[in-house]
């Protein structure tokens, strides 16, 4: 009989619940989303905010903005998406 090798577990963060929240006071943002991410037993939250006027803000886009960071050990706590679509980390892990 051949031994069965279990599939390798991913070290990437998994995007979970995402919900709209109030933007950070004083930030020039008019849309903000809180994204919950998990990896094994670890659970973190990142905030993705969109500079006003946020014509492209959505739950899906907020999740997409976090995609480049999913393999990192620590996720940024807060990101801001500019009108031109560029993303900057405001509050690193």
> Can you give the pLDDT of all 93 residues of the chain as single tens digits?
555 544 445 689 999 999 999 999 988 999 999 999 999 999 999 999 999 887 778 999 999 999 999 999 999 999 999 988 899 999 866
Q: What domain range includes position 58? A: 14-91
Identify the pLDDT of residue 57: 87
Phi, psi of 8 (to 5 degrees): -65, 140
Distance CA 88, CA 72 (A): 16
Decide if 2 is inside a domain: no
Question: How is residue 18 written in tokens?
Answer: 């995402």
Identify the pLDDT of residue 5: 45
Total number of domains constituting the chain = 1
Decide if 66 is inside a domain: yes
Paired with 47 in beta bridges are 34, 78
Identify the pLDDT of residue 93: 60
Identify the pLDDT of residue 17: 95
Which residue's structure tokens are 């903005």?
Answer: 65
């Amino acid at each position: 009989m051949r031994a069965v090798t279990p599939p390798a577990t991913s070290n990437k963060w998994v995007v979970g619940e995402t919900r709209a929240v109030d933007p950070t006071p004083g930030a020039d943002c008019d849309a903000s989303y809180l994204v919950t991410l998990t990896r094994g037993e670890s659970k973190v939250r990142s905030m993705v905010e969109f500079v006003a006027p946020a014509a492209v803000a959505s739950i899906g886009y907020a999740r997409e903005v976090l995609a480049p960071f999913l393999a990192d050990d620590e996720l940024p706590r807060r990101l801001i998406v500019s009108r031109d679509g560029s993303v900057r980390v405001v509050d690193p892990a």
